[in-house]
Structure 1
Amino acid sequence: MRISTAQFYESSAANYSKNFANVVKSSEEASSLVRVNTAADDPVGASRLLQLGQQASMLDQFNNNMTTIKATLGQTEAVMTSIGNVLQRAKELALGAGNAGYTDSDRQANASELSQIEEQLLSLMNTKDENGKYIFAGSKGDTVPFSRNTDGTYSYNGDQVTLDLPIGDTQSMATNSTGWAVFQQAINTSRTQSTMTTPTPAVDGGRVVLSNGQVNSDVTYNAKFRGGEPYTVNFLSPTQLEIRDSLGNDVTAEASGNGVFSSSGGAATQTINFRGVDLKLNINMKTGDVPATVFPAPPSPNAYSFTLAAKPDSFNATRAPGNLSSDVVTNTSISNSAAYHASFPEGGAVLKFTSATAFDLYAAPLTASSKPVSSGVLAGNVATASGVDFTLSGAPSMQAGDQFSVTVNTHQTQNVLDTVAQLKTALSTPTNNNPQAIQALNAAIGSGIGNLTSGIDQLTSGLSSVGGRGASLTTQTDINQSLVLANTQTQGAIRDSDPATVMTRLTLQQTMLQASQLAFSKIAQLGLFNKV
């Protein structure tokens, strides 16, 4: 085989170009100490670097999320702490108002301070963050979470949704605490009521006062009391009462003292504990009263008898601002208990009119995909939906599209704002040293103290949740920092060059380049024309 001079020349030139390119590349690598600049440099390493880069971006986002959560938790904790201090002051005022030496003026002074506390609590519970979002409104950051109704009660307008942000590959954390969980779910210790059925008020004259009761054990109340209501409390004699459940069974043995009470001692308060409920009994005998006459045995129409049960659910129906009609709901009541418990939405409802007389009831919130839980037509000015009667003002003038937002109060829980408002009202009402008024006041104060304690406990639980998330955030921060360090080291091991290795390779390549230069110059002199 013959090799021409041109072939020698081209081969030497190609070898020289290759060596020169290697030297240039190694020089650049020695300067930057970066081994992988493109996928062609190391296909497997480039793929791994891409994965590590994505992980680094995720870790950076996790870090930003944790910074956001830390700021939000810090503000939430500060606001909750302030609310806790305010509630503690309200409790101190309630305890002070129960002092026997307090006059009506003293209690009214406490009520005045409670009024300020009520406004302060409302402001704190409607706190906004730096972006102008309400921090206790759940996912409805633009909606005022707590508002005062026309009857002086309060409603929660937010939702129960927490806003979660990822802080790790498999972990997310709530950035917020909802007002529903922190303030709306405080156990209501005053959720029972007693009602005198006989004798008539004129005959009684305030002689026997049985309080609504205070729940002292939720476990016993839910397990035993609720299953037997409504109860009937019958006074059999001046010293003995009996309690019968809804089936007529005698359950007096479960009452403290087996139903024995004293009809002497003036207005002294006696406590009867029954199935997790403390009932206060006051006997206010009048001058000349004979116990045997005041407490005739059943079936005398003047025998004392009370019904005892949990407070019935109540409703607040609010007219939508965009309604074409000016009608409002003036009264609500349960007309069909079975229908109510079977279909009325527990979390609130929307009553929407489809014509001047026809309406549908939806579970709140109302969306485009919502389906009615019941439907009906007006009977006069009453709309009956899922066993609840809604009475409209005047002659109805409803228009298609008009709607009402309905909230349900089951009395199982109570907003701390309602607790403060009720306590304020009780302290503002003068007793004028009337024994019955004083007894009613003491019962209201006891209820207020119990519900304030419950509200503070619920708030403490919310603070614990915030603190727990903060501790978890600290732990996850350490984990993420470790991952960032490992990611950086792994990327460096794949992407970066070893200086000694690069310099050794560069020296070898430079030597090879010099050799190829020398070979090229020698081959260039082997042409025939150089010999002529």
Structure 2
Amino acid sequence: MRISTSQFYNTSSANYQRGFSNVVKTQQESSDGIRVRTAADDPVGASRLLQLEQQQNMLDQYKSNITNVRNSLSTSESTLDAIGKVLQRVNELAISSGNAGFTDADRKANADELGSLEEQLFSLMNSKDENGKYLFSGSKGDTPPYVRNADGTYSYQGDQGQLKLQVGDMLSLAANETGFDAFEQALNTSRSQTTLTAPAVDDGRVSLSNGQVSGSATFNDRFRSGEPYRVEFLSSTQYRILDSGNNDVTLEASQGGTYNPNAENGSISFRGVDLRLKITLQPGDNPDAAIAGHTFNLSSKPDAIAGSRSPGNTSGTQVNNATISNQAQYNASFPGGGAVLKFTSATDFELYAAPLTDNSRPISTGTLAGNTATASGVSFQLSGAPNAGDSFAIKVDTHQNQNMLNTIGQLRTALSVPMDSDPKARQNFLASLDSAIGNIASATNQVSSSISAIGGRGAALDVQAETNEALGNENAKTQSSIRESDPATVMLRLQMQTNMLQASLQSYAKIAGLSLVNYI
């Protein structure tokens, strides 16, 4: 076999360059300890490294999300804590206002302080975060959660949307606490009412308050099923209660239908409702004859319905009044979460459950009768003629819940009413005070529940942060084991490659010196 001179030189040069390249690569690996630089170095390892780097990027994003959620929750918790402290002071004022030694001036002073606390709460409940977004508006961060209505009441404008961020592979946590959860779910203790039905004109002898719900479950399960009730006073020491079916249910009332007419703070407890009872006999009265025949209707407060025009309406027509005209139809079909009354022409309308979407279907349809639209048992009185396309947002107040601002406003109003020389006014005030104290306690509990919920999410964040950190450490170790090389192995390989390169160079020099002339 013959080897040409050019073939010898080319082969030797290629071998030398390959060996030199291996030495350079190994030298670089020995200096920085990196084994896998490209997929060509280790295709399987490079693929695994890519997966690990993607996981590490996700863990870094989770870490950032955890920081954002923790900061947001901390701001909400601090604000709720401040609200709780204000409510504590409101409760102190409410309790002190029931002092028998207080005068109208004392109660007026408490009312003035309540006004300041009400403004402070209104400001706190409309707090913003460091980004200028409202804390308690849900997903509507640019909308103030609470507005003051023309009648002095307050309405929630936010929604129930939770802004969730993913903090782990299988865990997303809300970064906000909505005003709906923190303030709108406080149970309202003023959900019942009484109406004197006999005698036709109140003679002031028997005063029975609207009542305060002391047991919400009993009220919903037992009281609501038998209303309306008729409370009949049989004598100056006895009464009876008849349900809507005319069944005698007196035995379910406190003391089985007996009472002390001389008690300063008499009361009747019935199916989760506590009512204040005050008997005021007039000079010369025969007690039994004077009290017998007084009758009251007792029931839960009817739902209050209100409508407001949509901003895009082309007419200025308003909903002046809304009343339940057919209780059965109302109970059967009117949406409890609110509705939208939309006019398809100047006289024809449709009623939808809120919110109205492209896929919504009307619950009820009808035609105006004069200026009255009747849908699902509710009659809406309009101020004028609507245009086609006009719509009205309908809200339903079931009195199940009441926000703390309305509670404080009602208490402030009650404290401002003079009662020093009016026993009946004082009796009404005490009933209002009972309701306010109960509602304040309910609001305080709701705020505390929100703070506890935030604390629970904070604890979950801590656990997830530790989990993510452990995953990150293991990820770094695995990447290191794949990407980095063993120093001893690298140095051994470098020595061997260097020796081979030197041997190749020496062999090349000796072979290159051979010539046929040397043998002639």
Superposition TM-score tier, normalisation by shorter sequence: over 0.9
Instruction: Find out whether 1:205 has 2:203 as its counterpart.
Output: yes
Q: Corresponding residue for 2:273?
A: 277
User: Which SS does the other structure have where 1:167 is aligned?
Assistant: strand
Identify if the C-alpha distance between structure 1 residues 371 and 326 changes in structure 2 by more than 3 Å, giving closer, same or farther.
Answer: same
**Distance change (3 Å), C-alpha of 1:231 and 1:528:** farther
Mapping of residues 416-495 of structure 1, within 5 Å: 416-495=404-483
**Equivalent residue, structure 1, for 2:296:** 306
**Matched residue SS, 2:46:** helix
Secondary structure of 1:309 counterpart: strand
Q: Paired residue for 2:52? A: 52
SS at match of 1:345: coil
- SS at the partner of 2:70? helix
Counterpart code for 2:511: I
Match of 1:290 in 2: 286
1:325 and 1:402 in contact (8 A); partners too: yes
| 1:6 Cα deviation after fit | 4.0
Cα distance in 1 for partners of 2:399, 2:135 equals 25
Distance 1:308 1:531, change over 3 A: farther
Paired position in structure 2 for 1:359 = 349
Q: TM-score, normalised by structure 1?
A: 0.94
1:339-358 mapped onto 2 (5 Å cutoff):
339-358=329-348
**Does the CA contact (< 8 Å) of 1:208 and 1:284 recur in 2?**
yes
Q: 1:435 to 1:326 in 2, by over 3 A?
A: same
Change (3 A) 1:256 1:512: same
Residue 222 of structure 2 corresponds to which residue in structure 1?
Answer: 224
Per-residue CA deviation, residues 119-166 of structure 1 (Å, 9 max, x unaligned), is 111111111112221111111111221112222222111111211111
Give distance in 2, aligned partners of 1:351 and 1:528: 111
Asked if 2 retains the 8 angstrom alpha-carbon contact of 1:8 and 1:523, the reply is no
Letter in 2 for 1:272: I
Taking structure 2 as the reference length, the TM-score comes to: 0.96
Spell out the pairing of 1:372-383 with structure 2 (5 A cutoff): 372-383=362-373
Letter in 1 for 2:363: V
Q: Deviation of residue 13 (structure 1)?
A: 2.3
Alpha carbons of structure 1 residues 530 and 145: separation in structure 2 relative to 1, 3 Å: farther
Does the C-alpha gap of structure 1 residues 151 and 527 become closer, same or farther in structure 2, counting only changes over 3 Å?
Answer: farther
Instruction: Measure, in 2, the Cα distance between the counterparts of 1:71 and 1:527.
Output: 84
Per the alignment, in what secondary structure is the counterpart of residue 184 of structure 1?
Answer: coil
Q: Which residue of 1 aligns with 2:123?
A: 123
- 1:12 and 1:519 in contact (8 A); partners too: no
Higher mean displacement: 463-472 or 444-453: 463-472
Alignment equivalent of 1:319, drawn from 288, 309, 318: 309
Partner of 2:245: 247
Question: Matches of 2:366 and 2:517 in 1, distance apart?
Answer: 114
- The aligned amino acid for 2:251 is A
Q: Which residue of 2 aligns with 1:404?
A: 392
- For structure 1, which segment, 30-39 or 336-345, has the greater mean C-alpha deviation from structure 2 after superposition? 336-345
* Segment drifting more, 217-226 vs 183-192: 217-226
Match of 2:314, as an amino acid? L
Shift of 1:20: 1.1
User: What residue identity is the alignment partner of 1:16?
Assistant: Y
Tell me the CA shift for residue 363 of structure 1: 2.2
Measured against aligned partners, the alpha-carbon deviations of 1:152-200 in whole angstroms (never above 9, x if no partner) come to: 2221111112111111110111101110011000011111111111111
Going from structure 1 to structure 2, the CA distance change for 1:222 and 1:508 (only over 3 Å counts) comes to same
Identity in percent? 56
**Corresponding residue for residue 299 of structure 1:** none
Contact 2:235 2:289 in 1 (8 A): no
Instruction: Return the offset for 1:14.
Output: 2.3
1:166 aligns with 2:147: no
- 1:183-226, CA deviations, whole angstroms, 9 ceiling, x for partnerless residues? 0000111111111111112xx32111111111112222222212
Instruction: Note the alpha carbon deviations across 1:386-436, whole angstroms, 9 max, x for none.
Output: 21111122xx13112222222211111111111111111111111242111
Q: Tell me how large the CA RMSD over aligned residues is.
A: 1.7
Contact 2:187 2:443 in 1 (8 A): yes
Counterpart-to-counterpart distance in 2, 1:232 and 1:434:
27
Of stretches 117-126 and 146-155 in structure 1, the one that deviates more from structure 2 is: 146-155
Counterpart code for 2:273: V
**Structure 1 counterpart of 2:234, which letter?**
L
Question: 1:12 Cα shift?
Answer: 2.3
CA deviations over 1:444-474 (Å, ceiling 9, x no partner): 0110000000000010000001111111111
C-alpha contact (below 8 Å) 2:371/2:385 kept by paired residues: no
The aligned amino acid for 2:177 is S
SS at match of 1:450: helix
Q: After the TM superposition, which of the residue ranges 373-382 and 36-45 deviates more from structure 2?
A: 373-382
Q: Tell me how far 1:268 sits from its aligned partner.
A: 2.3
Work out the CA distance in 2 between the residues paired with 1:121 and 1:374. Answer: 40
Query: Displacement, 1:484?
Result: 1.0
Q: Which moved more, 1:70-79 or 1:340-349?
A: 340-349
Larger displacement relative to structure 2 (463-472 or 4-13): 4-13
> Over residues 365-398 of structure 1, what are the superposed CA-to-partner deviations in whole Å (9 max), with x where a residue is unaligned?
22333332222221111111221111122xx131
Q: Do residues 507 (structure 1) and 503 (structure 2) align?
A: no
User: In 1, are the aligned partners of 2:341 and 2:392 still within 8 Å (CA)?
Assistant: yes
8 Å contact 1:5–1:526 — kept in the other structure? Answer: no
For residues 458 and 132 of structure 1, what CA distance do their matches in structure 2 show? 25
Deviation larger for 157-166 or 24-33: 24-33
Q: Which amino acid aligns with 2:361?
A: K
Tell me if 1:18 matches 2:23: no
Structural mapping, 1:124-143, within 5 Å = 124-143=124-143
CA distance change for structure 1 residues 260 and 15 in 2, over 3 Å: closer, same or farther?
Answer: same
Q: Which amino acid aligns with 2:65?
A: N
Q: Which residue of 2 aligns with 1:43?
A: 43
Which is further off, 107-116 or 69-78?
A: 107-116
Structure 2: any 5+ residue segments left out of the alignment? none
3-state SS in 1 of match to 2:183: helix
